[in-house]
Structure 1
């Protein structure tokens, strides 16, 4: 069994904090467009970005994506 990244839940984390994409982008030192691409599934977070985002958001890295279980036979 292994895991794959499913949908990004960054927008839900931002909504919980009451932050806009622009506010989060500024805190992370990236563009709002990049954050939008993460949220829309056009890009995946690097591990470094995910660590920093989780720290800033006060959540776990695993809270940033829905994880899909992949069963191997």
Structure 2
């Protein structure tokens, strides 16, 4: 069975942790624009970015995106 990344859940996680996009960007060492690109789906996290983001947000890597099955129904 194959899977793909669905919707990025970063904005939801930031709201739950009461962290602004700007603060998250600062903690991650990236621009706020890049964080916005992740949220809107214009960019996808690298594995190492996802590991660090999960650490900063206190969540699992799999919490950062919806995981969607490619299986045809």
**Which residue number corresponds to residue 52 of structure 1?**
52
TM (norm. structure 2) is: 0.95
- 1:13 maps to 13
Supply the distance in 2 between the matched residues of 1:55 and 1:70 (Cα, whole angstroms).
Answer: 28
**Runs of 4+ in structure 1 over 3 Å off:** none
* Number of the residue aligned with 1:2: 2
List per-residue Cα deviations over 1:27-55 (Å, max 9, x = no partner): 00000000000000000000000000001
Q: Partners of 1:62 and 1:70 in 2: how far apart?
A: 17
The TM-score, its normalising length taken from structure 1, stands at 0.95
Return 5+ residue gaps in structure 2 as ranges: none
What's the C-alpha RMSD, in Å, of the aligned pairs?
A: 0.9
Q: Does 1:27 align with 2:14?
A: no
Q: Which runs of 5+ in 1 are unaligned?
A: none
Measured after TM superposition, the shift of residue 57 of structure 1 is 0.3
